[in-house]
Chain A
Amino acid sequence: MFENEVVEVSSLASASINSIVFKPLSKLYLYVLVLNNALQYIILASLIFIANYRRVEPFMSYKFQFFVVLILYVLLHSTLSILAFKKRKYALRTHDISFKQGVLVNSLSTVPLSRIQHLDISQGILSRFFGLANLKLFTAGADGSDMVIKGLLLADAEQLKEHLTAKINERV
């Protein structure tokens, strides 16, 4: 008898991927994203400052255009990354794990637990500060089939890893 119940998420248990409830990432991860973005914008701004100071040529003649493009980029990039954060969700079921993301292009990928080769938890500097972690699932599949769930609480990530590792070991 084949069962594919949703694990601890909701009572909406159903076989269709479309009707399960996905879990959002930790809210703290938004801070990481915002800080990362801010860092990127600061680097860009300082580049412009240097260009202005040293009178680098293509920049000096098109100053206005450069500023417009930069401001548009910052606005678009920051909105998209916040929207993208809200779209990133994951769900664990008895037999598989799914992750969805994307603002302009929505994607949902699913890895059957029986196809996971090994798991990996990593932490960036900012993530460590906020107590977050990334969980990476490796399959034997061609490039692009590995799944990365960024911005989980470290405790959650470890729990998830433990659960999945147990599942992998069950298999052998």
Chain B
Amino acid sequence: MSEFNFEIPSKQSVKGIIFLVFPSIANTFKTAYLPLLFYVFQFFRNPEQYKPYLSYIGFGVFALVVFSVVRGVLSFKNFQFFISNDYFVLQKGIIKKQRLEISLHKIQNVHISQNFLQRFVGVVALNIDTAGDKTTEVMIKSLNTEKALALKKALVNIKKLEEEEAVANETVINISFSELVMAGLTQNHVNSFYLLSVIIFGLLIDIKDIMDMFGFKGFVENLSTRATSGTYLTMIIIYFLTIIVAIICSVIFSVVKVMISNYGLSVKHSKEAIEIEKGLFNRVSYSLKSSRIQSVIYKTNRLKQKFGMYSVRFNQAMSAINSNKNIEIEGLKKQNLKIFEQFVFGYPVANIVEHQTKPDPYFKTQLFIKTIYLLVLINVIAISLLGVEFSFANLLLVPWFLFLNNLRYKRSYYNYQKNYFILGEGRIDTVTNIFEHHKIQSLKIIQSFFQKKRGVASITVYTASNFMTIPSLPYAEAIALYDNLLYKVESTDLDWI
């Protein structure tokens, strides 16, 4: 069938040595870059004093590179795989030898992926996905594309593969560049802002450390005092500009983020699986099996709704740590969602607005109490760190949190259908969780002291990929729902995987 014989042990692609050598060098430099930078700087400042150390450091770097290369070559030489008697065997390890054996029957799927570096070198990575076993996790970092494909064919159940090939792999969805830009622009920019703030704050601390070390003590502090000194007019202008820059940066960040992970998104449909391919630098392909998907989440927001755009997230049941459990794709249209529904559930999910049941109004009180806790916590920490001036920030924080709470209640609902359950969530985003009753693993009904007083209770639903909480319902209603969901799981013959 193929030119590759996997019965005899074979190694990775020779080009792959670079992936064994490079990461270990990079890792060491990552931990040592601050002292090194310090040395280089001091050397230029005061060559005489630091010259004697040059040979030591040079030798250290040289030894490190040699060590990494030798280790890389040795681990390449010791990495072998072959197929014998329906078992895939992998041997690796220089000093501590490891031998992994996986029964071919246990192999669920084989993923082939290619990140930027791998594409540059012209190799692919191969990842073997087994059912249930955490110990049998296999990742082959570099293979020729042809060899990887041949190995995939040899590993995955041959009969199954033929069946799949019988149905032509037709591309059902192709998301164009402009659609992705649109999806990026309509993203929840508030989230991007939060993320960006954390990154910038972290960078500032790093820059401060480096500047302090090089003798520019108080560099960052100077900048910030200079920014806040001056007349009120200049201060207002500076704040105004900062806000505009923050907004622009958040939007750019959203677009770039969507672009990097979703560039060239295409969805192919075969008989048993949906193949998703996407990514700019890190080109990845996923093979989704409907039985593995435990729940589906649609996300949209006010802006996206105007353009009829959605993002979808598939929550899968996976035990392997390395494999990607949850797959999210952007820039989808309503009719695209129907294709996925047909594939995952086998029927279209109803879009019935009138069957939505709202949580008890007590949920609002609950949210309010949680907000107060959060505000107190934020204030205590921030005032002790930044001073009493921070309390003015509450003028913005309090209305913002109240606004979010209001949205949270507005977006909350549930919709109990014959075969499936819909749970609405979200604040700025409208989040729609959909799962079929037979995917439920266990249920929990929770009633706090205060909830008991109000006669309400919450239900938590566990599936094999995530859990969802249906907030405060009137007690009788909660019990009825609990009984119904239990009845649905227990009376079905359908398995969860």
Given contacts A104-B449, A107-B447, A142-B441, 6 further A-B contacts (CB under 8 A): A18-B479, A109-B442, A110-B482, A110-B486, A140-B441, A145-B467
Q: Is the CB of A142 within 8 A of B467?
A: yes
Q: Is the CB of A141 within 8 A of B490?
A: no
Of A2, A114, A141, A147, the residue contacting B487 (CB under 8 A) is A2
Q: Is the CB of A142 within 8 A of B466?
A: yes
Residues of chain A with a CB closer than 8 A to B442's CB: 109-112, 115, 139, 141, 145, 147
Query: Quick one: CB contact mask for B466-497 with A, threshold 8 Å, 1 for yes?
Result: 11000000000001101100110111000011
In the complex where A96-B486, A112-B490, A142-B462 touch, is A106 in contact with B467 (Cβ < 8 A)? no
Asked if B464 lies at the interface with its beta carbon under 8 angstroms from chain A, I say yes
Q: Is the CB of B445 within 8 A of A105?
A: no
What's the least CB distance linking B333 to chain A, in Å?
30
Nearest CB in chain B to that of A146: its residue: B442
What's the least CB distance linking A139 to chain B, in Å?
4
Asked if B49 lies at the interface with its beta carbon under 8 angstroms from chain A, I say no
Q: Supply 22 A–B pairs (Cβ within 8 Å), ascending by A.
A: A2-B487, A4-B487, A15-B483, A16-B483, A96-B490, A105-B449, A106-B446, A106-B452, A107-B445, A107-B447, A108-B444, A109-B444, A110-B442, A110-B482, A112-B442, A114-B490, A140-B464, A142-B462, A142-B464, A142-B465, A145-B444, A145-B462
Q: Is the CB of B443 within 8 A of A109?
A: yes
Q: How many A-B residue pairs have CB under 8 A?
A: 90
Residues of chain A with a CB closer than 8 A to B466's CB: 142
Residues of chain B with a CB closer than 8 A to A112's CB: 440, 442, 486, 489-490
Residues of chain B with a CB closer than 8 A to A106's CB: 446-448, 452
Asked if A17 lies at the interface with its beta carbon under 8 angstroms from chain B, I say yes
Of B462, B464, B465, the residue contacting A144 (CB under 8 A) is B462
In the complex where A140-B496, A144-B462 touch, is A115 in contact with B446 (Cβ < 8 A)? no
What's the least CB distance linking B484 to chain A, in Å?
10
A-B pairs with lowest CB-CB distance, top 4: A141-B441, A145-B462, A141-B462, A95-B490
In the complex the two chains form, what is the Cα distance from A95 to B26 in whole Å?
A: 55
Residues of chain B with a CB closer than 8 A to A109's CB: 442-445
Q: Is the CB of A142 within 8 A of B463?
A: yes
Nearest CB in chain A to that of B493: its residue: A114
In the complex the two chains form, what is the Cα distance from A114 to B451 in whole Å?
A: 31
In the complex where A2-B491, A18-B479, A105-B448 touch, is A139 in contact with B441 (Cβ < 8 A)? yes
What's the least CB distance linking B418 to chain A, in Å?
15
Q: Is the CB of A115 within 8 A of B483?
A: no
What's the least CB distance linking A94 to chain B, in Å?
8
Query: Quick one: CB contact mask for A1-35 with B, threshold 8 Å, 1 for yes?
Result: 01010000000000111100000000000000000
Asked if B317 lies at the interface with its beta carbon under 8 angstroms from chain A, I say yes
Give the interface SS of chain A, mostly helix, strand, loop or mixed.
Answer: mixed
Q: Residues of B with Cβ closer than 8 Å to A?
A: 317, 440-449, 452, 462-467, 479-480, 482-483, 486-487, 489-491, 496-497
Nearest CB in chain B to that of A111: its residue: B442
Which residues of chain A from 50 to 90 have any CB-CB distance to chain B below 8 Å in the complex? Answer: none
In the complex the two chains form, what is the Cα distance from A15 to B448 in whole Å?
A: 24
What's the least CB distance linking B440 to chain A, in Å?
7
What's the least CB distance linking B7 to chain A, in Å?
33
In the complex the two chains form, what is the Cα distance from A112 to B462 in whole Å?
A: 12
In the complex the two chains form, what is the Cα distance from A104 to B447 in whole Å?
A: 9
Nearest CB in chain A to that of B479: its residue: A18
Residues of chain A with a CB closer than 8 A to B445's CB: 17, 107-109
Residues of chain B with a CB closer than 8 A to A96's CB: 486, 490
In the complex the two chains form, what is the Cα distance from A105 to B450 in whole Å?
A: 9
- The listed residue with most A CB atoms (<10 A of its CB), out of B442, B465, B490, is B442
Residues of chain A with a CB closer than 8 A to B483's CB: 15-18
In the complex where A140-B317, A142-B463 touch, is A107 in contact with B444 (Cβ < 8 A)? yes
Nearest CB in chain B to that of A137: its residue: B442
Q: Is the CB of B496 within 8 A of A17?
A: no
In the complex the two chains form, what is the Cα distance from A110 to B462 in whole Å?
A: 11
In the complex the two chains form, what is the Cα distance from A75 to B465 in whole Å?
A: 41
Q: Is the CB of B447 within 8 A of A141?
A: no
What's the least CB distance linking A120 to chain B, in Å?
16
Which residues of chain A from 128 to 146 have any CB-CB distance to chain B below 8 Å in the complex? Answer: 139-142, 144-145
Nearest CB in chain B to that of A114: its residue: B490
In the complex the two chains form, what is the Cα distance from A54 to B486 in whole Å?
A: 59
Q: Is the CB of A140 within 8 A of B487?
A: no
Of B440, B479, B497, the residue contacting A17 (CB under 8 A) is B479
Residues of chain B with a CB closer than 8 A to A140's CB: 317, 441, 464, 496-497
Of A18, A105, A107, A115, the residue contacting B441 (CB under 8 A) is A115
What's the least CB distance linking A80 to chain B, in Å?
12
Q: Is the CB of A2 within 8 A of B490?
A: yes
In the complex the two chains form, what is the Cα distance from A47 to B483 in whole Å?
A: 50
Q: Is the CB of A4 within 8 A of B490?
A: yes
What's the least CB distance linking B453 to chain A, in Å?
12
Nearest CB in chain B to that of A2: its residue: B491
In the complex the two chains form, what is the Cα distance from A3 to B317 in whole Å?
A: 29
Residues of chain B with a CB closer than 8 A to A147's CB: 442
In the complex the two chains form, what is the Cα distance from A18 to B467 in whole Å?
A: 23
Nearest CB in chain B to that of A14: its residue: B483
Q: Is the CB of B446 within 8 A of A105?
A: yes
Residues of chain B with a CB closer than 8 A to A114's CB: 489-490
Query: Quick one: CB contact mask for A89-106 with B, threshold 8 Å, 1 for yes?
Result: 000000110000000111
Q: Is the CB of B489 within 8 A of A115?
A: yes
In the complex the two chains form, what is the Cα distance from A112 to B480 in whole Å?
A: 17
What's the least CB distance linking A79 to chain B, in Å?
15
Nearest CB in chain B to that of A100: its residue: B445
In the complex the two chains form, what is the Cα distance from A13 to B183 in whole Å?
A: 54
Residues of chain B with a CB closer than 8 A to A139's CB: 441-442, 462
What's the least CB distance linking B168 to chain A, in Å?
34
In the complex the two chains form, what is the Cα distance from A115 to B479 in whole Å?
A: 21
